[in-house]
Amino acid sequence: MAAVDLASELISNVSSWRSEVLNQKAGAKMLVSIALFLIAWYVWIARKWSKGHFPLPPGPRGLPLIGFLPFLDTELHSQFEKLAKIYGPIMNVRLLNKNVIVISSPELAREVMRDLDAIFANRDVTAAALAMTYNGQGIVWAQNGPHLRLVRRVCSRELMSNKALDNIYPLRRREVRQAVREVFSKINTPIDLSEITFQILLNLMISIMWGATLDGEGRRTLSKEFRQWTQDALVLQTKFNVSDLFPVLARFDIQGVVREMNKLSIWLDKVFDSIIDQRRKMDGVEGEDEKKKEGKDFMNLLLQLTEEERKTTFTVTNMKAMMVELLVGGTNTTSTMVAWSMGELLKHPHIMRKVQDELEQVVGKNNVVEESHLPDLHYLDAVLKETHRLHPAIPFLVPRSPCETCNVGGYRVPKGCKIIINAWAIQRDPKTWKDALEFKPDRFLTEEFKKCDIRGTDHRFIPFGSGRRMCIGLPLAERMYPYVLASLIHSFDWRWPEGTNYELEDRFGIVSKQAVPLVAIPTARLSNPELYS
């Protein structure tokens, strides 16, 4: 009996031990399965993270809720350049509820404007800009989509094509020669070059836009009023507006920025309506002869398109919004660049002499400058590029906004954030540009940079941006800027007023202007005085 009991206990122990071993094997299998699951889950998470969940770019630490807002400098372009040296070429500056991603290297600028161009084709639109451009019905502030494609196609085909610009050359020539005559009437007296270049470009744009529709006293009155209008509009554009950082507050317009802009826009809208009505009433043989002689102006071309509205869906509102943008861009940016060039040439008389020598060789002192001379003025072209490099008219370009969250430079860029490309810093980077802060046009005649153009193909040099949102008015600027500058340099010698010493410091804004107005004294250069008549 004892032997049976012992055998039964032994069998029971063996069965228990076998069961325990089997359970341990099952547990091991379970652990292996769990481990494999966790590894697979981790890989999935890592891959998902790599597709859009990288950390935000580094940046300066601000205060709770309000972020870096209290620490912003008035000279933002130089402040962001200094911060980029600390935090890198891509950084995040948080302002209240808004992430502002600042790009400060050509490599990352190329990634945003070329490689990921479709994602970054939207604008970060301010409330003031919307109010000024008829709720974004123009080109500059329009969001990417069918409307933008329509107005860009209209502008590039009807206004900025070589054929269209060739047709209105007589208008440009008339205004430039009138400007030269006006300067000649002020020989040996101090002239505010900032003022006169703006006036030249404004008259030029009025002629290009409206031809003979506005002449005489009406033009003089509009010129004076529009200059004040554009100054007020740009101030409102640069004014801090809480609505831009908290869109839910936009409808309340807490600071009244939109109300002020609407007041300005009402005046300009009345001007547009008056000119459009006047143009529609213009007829007769004399008017037709004038059009044939000078070519069709922009108003004529745009009105034809609005009359074909059913085919093109291009409306009078689109037309007005485009006219606002063309007037503001064509006057402020180009006149600013002419003033910067003149300032640098006055500061570097040996460079001024080289430009004038080239003009004498190509144009001659018994002749006036024509646009046909411009392709042969290679040193002048280098001067223009160096001015664009050192003093880009729009230092931050026009802000963009991604339509989806993406990666740039290994960092997460959230959908809807504000993208600033600091062209001012990129074009002064000593890693790219030797003697970066010095005005040296000859650099653009070297093998390294002579193929560098202003069309954004080389992202070390992007004064007009790059990609599908590059400045639409570039073809017109390419003609007006050198033509006006060459005419002023070829027709006159220039000198500082006695006892003055200009430092050519800039003042940050949407358009970066000179901090002190540029004043100089002209002396006649052309050998035949009748050339000024």
DSSP state of 330: I
pLDDT score of 240: 86
Residue spans of the domains in the chain: they are: 69-532
pLDDT per residue as tens digits for the range 382-437: 999 999 999 999 999 999 999 999 999 999 999 999 999 999 999 999 999 999 99
Total-model pTM: 0.86
Q: Name the architecture of domain 69-532.
A: Orthogonal Bundle (1.10)
Token pair for residue 221? 């009155």
Secondary element (H or E) of residue 94: strand 90-95
pLDDT at 291 over 80: no
Whole-angstrom distance, CA of residue 161 vs CA of residue 169: 13
Secondary structure (3-state) at 388? helix
Per-residue pLDDT band for 509 (boundaries 50, 70, 90) equals confident
The C-alpha atoms of residue 231 and residue 300 are separated, in whole angstroms, by 28
Task: Give per-residue pLDDT as tens, 179-230.
Answer: 999 999 999 999 998 888 888 888 888 888 887 666 667 777 788 888 889 8
- What sections of 295-391 are H helices per DSSP? 298-307, 309-312, 316-328, 334-347, 349-362, 378-390
Average pLDDT score over residue span 513-524: 92
Q: Are strands 506-507 and 513-514 parallel, antiparallel or unpaired?
A: antiparallel
Classified as helix, coil or strand, 415 is coil
What pLDDT sits at residue 396? 96
SS (H, E, C) 259-272: HHHHHHHHHHHHHH
Q: Tokens standing for 285?
A: 């043989």
Q: Would the pLDDT of 167 be above 60?
A: yes
Bridge partners (DSSP) of residue 406 are: 413
Q: What are 422-442's pLDDT values in tens digits?
A: 999 999 999 999 999 999 999
CA–CA distances in Å: residue 513 to residues 96, 171, 383, 517:
28, 27, 18, 9
Q: Answer yes or no: is pLDDT of 248 > 90.
A: no
